[in-house]
Chains A and B, each alone.
Chain A
Amino acid sequence: MSDDSYFDQLLGEPSRFGAMSSEDQFGIDPRELAQVQLRGIQQRFEEMRPKVNVLERLSEDLDITKIERAEDVTALCFPHTMYKSFAVSYIEDGRFDRMTRWLSTLTTVDLSGVDATGCDSLESWLNLLEARTTLRPLCSSGTTGKISVFPKGEIEEMTRFNNQLVIHGPWPGEPDSRLAGGKLDFFCPWPVSTGRHNFPNNFKMLRKHLYGGDDSRVHVLGDAHWDIDVLWLAGRIRAAEAKGQLSELRLNPKMQALRDRLTQQQAAGKDNIDKFLHELLVEYAERPVFLFAPFNLLIPLAQEAKKRGMKAKFSPDSYVLGGGRSGSKGMIFPDDWMEQIMEIFPAEYQQVFGMTEMTVACRRCTAGHHFHLPPNIVPFLIDPDTSQPLPRTGVQTGRYAFYDLYAQTHWGGIITGDRLTINFDGGCACGRTGPYVHEDIERYSNLRDDDKITCAKSPEAYEKAVELTLGAIHE
């Protein structure tokens, strides 16, 4: 492929480009790719600046009118926190017109024709946006308990889905999941089947685009549906609890009903675990499966299986995707967690590095145990204290920022809260070209010195399991 057509496809047809094989994506010469990426950032800046209000204001404040070097864009990268910068009262007072106005400053999609005055909940507002526009917002709960609303569109949703099939596909010396062919069933021990969270959103895409609408091919813990209002309520309860403000939280009848529904769903928890374990370990014992089980879900599942005297015998062509580290989702792993997992679910665990804000995930290679960034991601590291970009050569450690060239409905520049070590020179033994990320990924918010004692209260992480908090709310 010539540079020009590579460029045109990368920027113009991301979902097709992203569906190319890993060999094609990772095969490009790094110097050529750097040129393509710089041109890409320049073009996106030109296109989006007039459309994304916050980008326009930020570039005006910083007096940036042109991107000369790729790292110039780091000053224009949005902190991930920007996608939760609305006022809580917009939602609690039912002012969804204000939510629309807020979101309109962060997307290229024109929301001026969306009249949200009739909406009575976050879910109804998101449904309206999806009915009237190409937006497909992804929501997640952050460390303060507030929900973020990330304005992805149909294009990014499809691109993300295709990427998933490709990165778990073939690469020399590495297991091929064969997920793309739709032959394997997909298992994930997640307690929610449908809804707004990125996991259920992915289940939806798999059911629709991979399994031709056959819901039975995606196996999760029960059939719970968590719309955004549930996530919102859970986050509010967690935050109020941690701040000692539970008595302040007033549940309106709608939230009350949500809470009752959650309680019912939890009561079904044990049956759901029985069913899931039976399907995975008995019914599918001899058949290849795709198991997506981040360790914070897999550890309790292993304990449940052990209680029942059950053990996995995965067929050799099964593909097991793990991931996550102790503390990163509020769960501290037991010291012997790996032994616990390997005892019940012995497998060669694959891992990825990804986040809501990226349209792609990065697979960890077998040869070097590094995460490899696909060509649409232009990675940067910035000094956490000065926010200045670090040199893009050699091995560097800093706050991860990136530009995602696939993004079209939102600005692709993001500053994350993660501390990464990146080898910018590339040359991993696995054969993929371009920069790669070392395994030791940490959130800066988790990186405090825990022996540093002051008399002032410090923030807690709110990402506890929801069941820990529901009992604390009085009717």
Chain B
Amino acid sequence: MSDYIIPLIIRGQIIEDDLVDYSARRSELSFRSPDVKKYLDRLVLKDPIDLQDLYRISLDEIVDYLVELGPRLDYRKNPHIALALEMQILTSHHTREMLENSYVSMLQALTRPVIEERLEKNIGRKYLEGWVDEKMMDRTVAVRAFGARAIHAIAGNSGVIALETILDNAVTRSDAIIKIPSNDPYFSTAVARTMVEMAPNHPVTRHLSVAYWKGGDASVEKFLYDSKNVEKIVAWGGFDSMRSIREYLAPGLDLVALDPKLSASIIGRAAFDTEASTQDAAERAAADVGYFNQGGCLSARTIYLESGTDEAGVKRANQFGKRVFEAIQALPSRLSSPHPAFDPTLRAEIDGIRYSDAFRVFGGKASEGAVIVSQYDEQVDFSERLDCRVANVVPVDSIDAALHHLTIHSQTIGIYPDSLKSKIRDQCALRGGQRIVSLGMATAGNLSGPHDAIEPLRRMVRWLRDDQLESRAGVLHG
């Protein structure tokens, strides 16, 4: 147990008073943070007109600010970020080596080409910079994307989520209150502190607040989740937290929901064409399962394999499962490792099927991960608990049988071979999938986003229009 203090940051002010204790239920980390209840009035931006300081500067100046911030977030030089990394080691599913690697690589998000691509491809830079005339049949409509006052209840499985939230808040000229999750309790705060040190009076610094309260605490959320105080809630993950947020929704308050998802792989029979293709498919499948220790929604958990379900097919599936397991063990240590906190409930599930004829288990003795090969076309009953580099290979007779398993909760679908992708992508989409990639590329996110079908940047803004009519000839006049 450690005794960390996580300050409350309100628009450039660092507050360390009125501390209360918080501890995770499994006691990985305890920390103290100011009692947000005492600061609610200050935490919200009461008058939305106070966003106007952000409109006195150009988008170029905002981008310059972010590009300058990037290199200052190097954990090797910045003690706040170093502390965030230390705390995340205690709460995350990554080793130090993996975290250090990701803390360096995610800073790419704050380089100029990435930011510019993000602006251009996600929303259109010009709409963020000013009014854009759009010619229509009977009028000219000037359109502009305006910022909003928003609460961001972010996920903590990767620091990049916090980084992109801060970036998007700046470029949309919005006012963000970040609600930090207990599994990444300090990174957002560390970035905000760095911003205060870098440019204490800059409008971008003055429109970011970072706070911790226990998710679901009605005494805080009832006040904050109110259209008087914010226009948008951007919320990630957790079924329970999503449900509780939805209770507060009322007209005037918009929810951008990044609902919790799970991902899968679909591997066609072409994987068995040659020894080389089988090995290639197994290594790609292993990457989708094992990179970042299967901690994200885009990590593959169930692998549908068109091996056939007769005796020969199941034998092929078993051999393939063994290869995937071995390939997981061979993943580079900067991207994957035996899980530092293997889920004991998952372990009991794996131990429970180890001697069953219905399943074949490779690995899973300690924390090295496992591949469970179903001996029939059915997932393990605990498929939603697959994590910690544990995958379930399900043999199927046809790709159609695999597609049948996709639902609205599916996120990324990694497909092998590539030629299969264009054939089935419409069906994947109609069944609920959000992102289709070549097998092995599930975790290769591009920092310019969007990473799935949500398009958060476009939805974080309020789209305004200014109609200019030549005459009173509008079609809808009453």
Name A residues whose Cβ lies closer than 8 Å to a Cβ of B.
53-54, 57-58, 78-90, 98, 101-102, 105, 144-146, 239, 242-245, 248, 384-385, 387, 399, 415, 417, 444-445, 447-460
- With A86-B358, A145-B381, A384-B344: A454-B295 Cβ-Cβ less than 8 Å: yes
* Contact call A449/B384, Cβ cutoff below 8 A: no
- With A82-B352, A243-B409, A454-B156: A449-B385 Cβ-Cβ less than 8 Å: no
* Contact call A452/B183, Cβ cutoff below 8 A: yes
* Interface presence of B460 (CB below 8 A): no
CB < 8 Å neighbour of B154 from A81, A447, A453: A453
Query: What distance in Å separates the Cβ of A106 from its nearest Cβ neighbour in chain B?
Result: 9
| 5 more CB-based (< 8 A) A-B contacts, given A451-B181, A453-B241, A454-B260 | A87-B376, A451-B24, A454-B296, A455-B237, A457-B260
CA A101 to CA B355, docked complex, whole Å: 12
* Interface presence of B169 (CB below 8 A): no
CA A385 to CA B260, docked complex, whole Å: 26
CB < 8 Å neighbour of B382 from A144, A244, A451: A144
Please name the residue on chain A nearest to B297 by beta carbon.
A455
- With A449-B182, A458-B260: A85-B404 Cβ-Cβ less than 8 Å: no
* Contact call B378/A79, Cβ cutoff below 8 A: no
* Interface presence of B124 (CB below 8 A): no
Query: What distance in Å separates the Cβ of A332 from its nearest Cβ neighbour in chain B?
Result: 10
A-B contacts, CB under 8 A, total: 171
* Contact call B384/A85, Cβ cutoff below 8 A: no
What 10 pairs across the A-B complex have the smallest Cβ distances? A81-B352, A87-B358, A85-B356, A244-B407, A457-B260, A455-B297, A454-B157, A453-B181, A459-B384, A384-B344
Query: What distance in Å separates the Cβ of B313 from its nearest Cβ neighbour in chain A?
Result: 14
CA A455 to CA B24, docked complex, whole Å: 19
* Interface presence of B408 (CB below 8 A): yes
CA A86 to CA B384, docked complex, whole Å: 18
Can you list 24 A-B contacts with CB-CB less than 8 angstroms, sorted by A residue number? Answer: A58-B355, A79-B348, A81-B351, A82-B353, A82-B355, A83-B352, A85-B355, A87-B359, A87-B374, A90-B358, A144-B382, A145-B381, A239-B381, A245-B405, A245-B407, A451-B181, A451-B241, A453-B241, A454-B238, A454-B260, A455-B236, A457-B262, A458-B238, A459-B384
B residues 199-242 near A (Cβ < 8 Å) are: 214-216, 236-241
CA A460 to CA B376, docked complex, whole Å: 24
* Interface presence of B59 (CB below 8 A): no
B residues 315-356 near A (Cβ < 8 Å) are: 341-342, 344-345, 347-349, 351-353, 355-356
CB < 8 Å neighbour of A81 from B260, B348, B374: B348
Taking CB atoms, residues of chain A closer than 8 Å to B295 are 454, 456
Taking CB atoms, residues of chain B closer than 8 Å to A79 are 348-349, 351-352
Taking CB atoms, residues of chain A closer than 8 Å to B161 are 455
Residue from B28, B377, B382, B383 with most neighbouring chain A CB atoms (10 Å): B382
- With A80-B352, A451-B182, A456-B157: A89-B378 Cβ-Cβ less than 8 Å: yes
Residue from B237, B261, B351 with most neighbouring chain A CB atoms (10 Å): B351
Taking CB atoms, residues of chain A closer than 8 Å to B297 are 454-457
* Interface presence of B77 (CB below 8 A): no
* Contact call A449/B352, Cβ cutoff below 8 A: no
* Interface presence of B107 (CB below 8 A): no
CB < 8 Å neighbour of A80 from B237, B348, B405: B348
CA A111 to CA B216, docked complex, whole Å: 52
CB < 8 Å neighbour of A85 from B26, B347, B359, B376: B359
Taking CB atoms, residues of chain B closer than 8 Å to A84 are 352, 381
Query: What distance in Å separates the Cβ of A415 from its nearest Cβ neighbour in chain B?
Result: 7
- With A449-B183, A450-B215: A456-B348 Cβ-Cβ less than 8 Å: no
* Interface presence of B171 (CB below 8 A): no
CA A90 to CA B24, docked complex, whole Å: 41
